[in-house]
Chain A
């Protein structure tokens, strides 16, 4: 990697200390119908969602699902800088970043391929929900930072970003709620944590192993994003999506409450 003169440089290379740990035995995903953290297959982790957390932003939100912590801020509408980006529809951009200390492995300062991929997926999940024609010739910028990743980061980011968008007062057709599911054999584990997440490098030997993330617009009952990883039978994918849709619909009131709270707080401040 070329040295970055704009940052304080460390040693040329360094290694993760946990890669020298003596191998730990693999945990089973399910034991007597219970997951490692004691949840059942269908249970979600408790969600904390708050809108209006960044004072300088037009809209912002913070979501916490146990150890997964995501913050999002929205800026705009502002002028389009490059002439090529000019369009009569508003332009939406999205930047997804894992904080350097957010994972067990240290992340890099520059956006890597995974982060770029998530940026695009997030953008595509949100675009259908925003009334882009209401702000022609201008752009809205969404910035998402994962402060700590304990699984289902993309799903959390989708929920968080849509609440931040709504908090900014931009007109929207609907909110977007995100949900992830891990498919392992015949089991569907909702809202997987980091250890349960599908990692292509792990050889599980299962025929059906992968994960599905869904973004749903709950009041329209339309799916805005589906992404699936791994090798899964079609019937199982259908089941997984149906389950996600179900969960997203349940999440809807949580999103609404966060927004109502933020609006009433703002009203109190103004007198």
Chain B
């Protein structure tokens, strides 16, 4: 049986490599994708919170093969004079050459910069962390949260994985307790006691790919990204929208946008349930 199935298997592989678009069309005619997913189905999402103990908060996200790790380091800094009671949130996404042959060593490329900007916009616009909460002593000392997101395996849909890992890491962040000594004007850090960070809202991202100018499907892999004629990224923030981004590509109708919104909100519930489950299992 093994020997008889082999030529068919080889033919499948060569069609997939030589004519990927036709290969995909054959599947999508039947409303299914080559990896067996339906059009509105995300890849299995695995979450691991608090995996790095040298960071104040951390999370590892696996979205199918795509793997992203977020680590949060907290440091002291002096606030800006125009915002004396605001802390800093500094997110950066690193698409290292380790995660895909597309990326080369050296300073961040365009995609990494665009992703960093995207994460920064979500973090600032969703107000999930209040910058005033990061104040230790007005005008003197505030927290800086360096949120570094490192991609370990790039198989498409980095935005969703990044936002999920960021939210999970922020939720697990424990800042050391600090007292500001008025006399010496120096902080005193408690090496044992820690305090959790208040997270006020829950941004969740969902990315859709447009195929052949009309078909929309969710959570594209790297191959699907390269075949897609456009993408739509929607970041929900509890019951509101926080960011909608469609960087060019095939035009979409208002109805198509609304279908995306519905799916994004249901995805948001799925994701938040997952985060809660994992956080509970850690506390126990």
Contact = CB atoms under 8 A, between A and B. Distances in A.
A263 B94 CA distance: 30
Contacts of A270: 9
A147 B73 contact: no
> Of residues B113, B117, B148, which shows the largest number of chain A Cβ atoms within 10 Å of its Cβ?
B148
Contacts of B52: 69, 101-102, 147-148
A193 B93 CA distance: 29
Contact of A99 (B2, B105, B150, B191): B150
A101 B117 CA distance: 20
B150 A17 contact: no
Nearest to B101: A75
B176 A14 contact: no
Interface stretch (A43-51, A52-60, A201-209): A52-60
A271 to B, nearest CB: 7
Contacts of A150: 54
B97 interface: yes
Contact of A15 (B9, B54, B76, B112): B76
B74 to A, nearest CB: 6
Interface stretch (A2-10, A31-39, A84-92, A232-240): A2-10
Main secondary structure of the interface of A (DSSP, over half): loop
Nearest to A99: B150
A82 to B, nearest CB: 13
A143 interface: yes
A166 B237 CA distance: 45
Contacts of A102: 52, 54, 71
A103 B176 contact: no
A8 B76 contact: no
Contact of B90 (A6, A10, A149): A10
Interface stretch (B16-24, B182-190, B207-215): B182-190
Nearest to A110: B107
Given A9-B90, A54-B99, A14 B144 contact: yes
Contacts of A16: 75-76
Contacts of B53: 67, 148
Contacts of A4: 107
A95 B120 CA distance: 28
A271 B5 contact: yes
B53 to A, nearest CB: 6
A264 interface: no
A67 B113 CA distance: 31
A141 B97 contact: yes
A141 B101 CA distance: 10
A15 B54 CA distance: 16
Nearest to A7: B92
A254 B74 CA distance: 37
Contacts of B144: 10-11, 14
Interface residues of A, number: 49
Given A6-B108, A149-B54, A101 B71 contact: yes
Contact of B189 (A17, A67, A97, A99): A17
B16 to A, nearest CB: 14
A163 B65 CA distance: 20
Interface residues of B, number: 56
Contacts of A100: 71, 73, 94, 146, 148, 150
Contacts of A22: 188, 191
Contacts of A101: 52, 54-55, 58, 71-73, 146, 148
Contact of A18 (B67, B186, B189): B189
Contact of B77 (A10, A18, A109, A147): A10
A106 interface: yes
Contacts of A17: 74-76, 176, 178, 187, 189
Contacts of B187: 17, 20
Nearest to A58: B101
A8 B101 CA distance: 24
Contacts of A268: none
Interface string A122-152: 0000000000000000000101110111100
B58 A143 contact: no
A73 interface: yes
Interface in A99-119: 99-104, 106, 109
Contacts of B5: 271
A17 B69 CA distance: 23
B152 A71 contact: yes
7 contacts: A7-B108, A8-B90, A8-B116, A14-B76, A15-B76, A17-B76, A148-B52
The 3 A-B pairs at the shortest CB distance, nearest first, are namely: A101-B71, A10-B90, A55-B65
Given A17-B76, A106-B146, 4 more contacts: A67-B53, A67-B54, A99-B69, A101-B72
Interface of B: 2, 5, 9, 52-55, 58, 65, 67, 69, 71-78, 80, 88, 90-92, 94, 96-101, 105, 107-108, 112-113, 116-117, 120, 144, 146, 148, 150, 152-155, 176, 178, 186-191, 222
